[in-house]
Amino acid sequence: MTTIAPVAFRRTVELTIDGRAVTAREGATVLEACRAAGVEIPTLCYLETLTPVNVCRVCVVEVEGGRALVPACSRPVAAGMVVRTDSDRVRTSRRMVLELLASSVDLSTAAGDVHRWIGEYGARPERHGPSAPAAPTRPHAGHHAEPEVGSAATVVQPVKRDNNLYVRDYAKCILCYKCVEACGEDAQNTFAIAVAGRGFDAHISTELDVALPESACVYCGNCIGVCPTGALMFVTEHDLRATGDWDEDRQAVTRTVCPYCGVGCNLEVHVQDDRIVKVTSPLDHDVTSGNLCVKGRFGFAYVEASG
């Protein structure tokens, strides 16, 4: 019996992060090197299981010799690289990225880190003015109506609730591309959604914005699993939040194995008041990398039905 799989020989490079000499694996990203060195880099569109798209730009750092700042999440380390993660330029850009998002997106259910960073970097979304009302129609690429003087445009749009399993509230969407990647090449390969339109009007959409039941969606919910802002949510969570009954302090998360086919997907079962309110899968388990199918993620009603 052979027990060892091939492991590539790993080389390392030396670089400097905030004045400290650091050794990193060759091919590692600046983000990985920073994390290994205990330097916090905020990220929004980055996820270990997805290909970096480096679009949110909140992870930018200053690399000596470069004109613009570089995204830590996707820039590979290089020997002799001198990285600064806390310069004025870096702080200004991060503050502004957070400010621009907070002024245009409803971040009320975003991960706690986002709110901490907004405070730490001193983002002031309110200085762009009060939120403008929703536009009646989405502009065609290359055209848009003159902005209302004095208000700040947002990505607000009506909540999409077109199926029984999950809710899409794109007013909370920061366009991190994670759901598109999870639905597409990085995991599910169903391609039910994509980024459509462009510029400020870019948005996540099915083909011609048809409802999910008319789309290619197979309800794996892997998009929910990666959404950092709660724009995509289980119906159970959405409804409990709506009535003010969602309480993570009262929830226990238990790891078990999916009851269906023989692949052995790990489930994280979130239970509140003896009720399953959500199912996720661990990102760091190499059977699923956080992904499930519709049965594994949503097919738990029978547990309650049996009672």
Partner 1 sequence: MDLRTTGAPPDARERQAVDSVLGPPESGWAGGERTPGDGRAAAGGLARARRRRQVLLPALHALQDRVGWISLPALGYLCQRLDLAPAEAYGVASAYALFSFEPGPPVVVHVCDDVACRAACGGDPAAVLAARVGPAGSGATLTWQPSPCLGHCEHGSAALVLETGEPGARMTLAPFAAGDIERIRSLGGSLGGALDPDVLPAPRAIVPQAAGEGLRILRRVGRIDPASIDAYRAAGGYEALRRALQLGPAGVIGELKESKLLGRGGAAFPTGTKWEAVARNPARPHYFVANADESEPGTFKDRVLIDHDPYAVVEALTVAGLTTGAEQGFVYVRGEYPLAVARLEHAAAEARSRGLLGEDVMGSGLRFDLEVRRGAGAYIAGEETALFNSIEGRRPEPRNKPPYPVDRGLFDKPTGVNNVETLLSVLEVLTVGGGAYARLGTPESTGTRLFCLSGRVVRPGLYELEMGTTLRALLTMGGGVAGGRPLRAVLLGGAAGSFVGPDELDLPLSFEGVRAAGATLGSGVVVVLDDTVDVADIVRRVARFFRDESCGQCVPCRVGTQRQEEALGRLAAGRPLGSLDAELALLSDLDAVMRDASICGLGQTASSLVASALRRGLLSPAHGGPGAGPVADGRSAI
Partner 2 sequence: MFGAGGGTSSYREIEETDLVVLWGSNAREAHPIFFHHLLKGLRRGARLFAVDPRRSPSAQWADAWLGIDVGSDIALANAVGNEIIRSGLVNTEFIRRATTGFEEYAAAIAPCTLEEGERLTGVPAALIAELAHEYARAPRAQLCWTLGITEHHTATDNVLALCNLALLTGHVGRYGSGLVPLRGQNNVQGGGDMGALPNKFPGFQDVEDDAVRARFDARWGVRVPPRRGWHLSQMFEAMEKGELRALYVLGENPAQSEADTKRAVRLLEGLEHLVVQDIFLTRTAQLADVVLPAAVAAFETEGTVTSSERRVQRLRPALPPPGEARDDLSILADLSEKLGARWDRPSAEEVWDECRALSPMHAGMRYDRLEALGGIQWPCPSEDHPGTVFLHGRLWDEDPERRGSPAPFSPVEYEPPLDGLSEEFPVRLTTGRRLDSFNTGVQTGSYASPLRRPETIDLCPEDLERLGVGEGELVRVSSRRGAITVPVRLDRSLRPGLAFMTMHFPDQADTNVLTLDSWDPKSGTAEFKATAIRIDPLPAAGDSLLAGTLERAG
Task: Concatenate the DSSP letters of all residues of 250-270 into one string.
Answer: GEEEEEEE-SSSTT--EEEEE
Residue 134 contacts which entry, partner 2, partner 1, none (Cβ below 5-8 A, type-dependent): none
Question: Is 18 or 162 the residue whose CB approaches partner 2 more closely?
Answer: 162
Task: Concatenate the DSSP letters of all residues of 38-107 into one string.
Answer: T-----SS--TTS-----S-TTEEEETT-SS-EETTTPBP-TT-EEESSSHHHHHHHHHHHHHHHHHS--
Binding mask 234-273 for partner 2 (x = CB under 8 A): ------------------x-xxxxxxxxxxxxxx-x-x--
Distance CA 112, CA 37 (A): 23
Question: Is 241 or 295 the residue whose CB approaches partner 1 more closely?
Answer: 295
**In the complex, what is the shortest distance from the CB of residue 237 to partner 2, in angstroms, rounded to a whole number?**
15
Residue 221 burial by CB count (10 A; 0-12/13-18/19+): exposed, middle or buried?
A: buried
Does residue 21 belong to the site contacting partner 2 (CB under 8 A)?
Answer: no
Question: Is 33 or 58 the residue whose CB approaches partner 1 more closely?
Answer: 58
Residues making contact with partner 1 (CB under 8 A): 53-58, 60, 68-69, 71, 74, 89, 92-93, 95-97, 99-101, 103-104, 127-129, 140-144, 146-147, 149-153, 174-175, 184, 189-202, 205-208, 210, 214-216
Does residue 301 belong to the site contacting partner 2 (CB under 8 A)?
Answer: yes
Residue with tokens 């621009």: 100
Distance CA 185, CA 170 (A): 22
- Name the residue among 55, 306, 1 with its Cα closest to residue 173: 55
| Residue ranges in contact with partner 2 by CB under 8 A | 1-6, 163-165, 185, 187-189, 212-213, 217-220, 252, 254-267, 269, 271, 274, 276, 285-289, 291-296, 298-303, 305-307
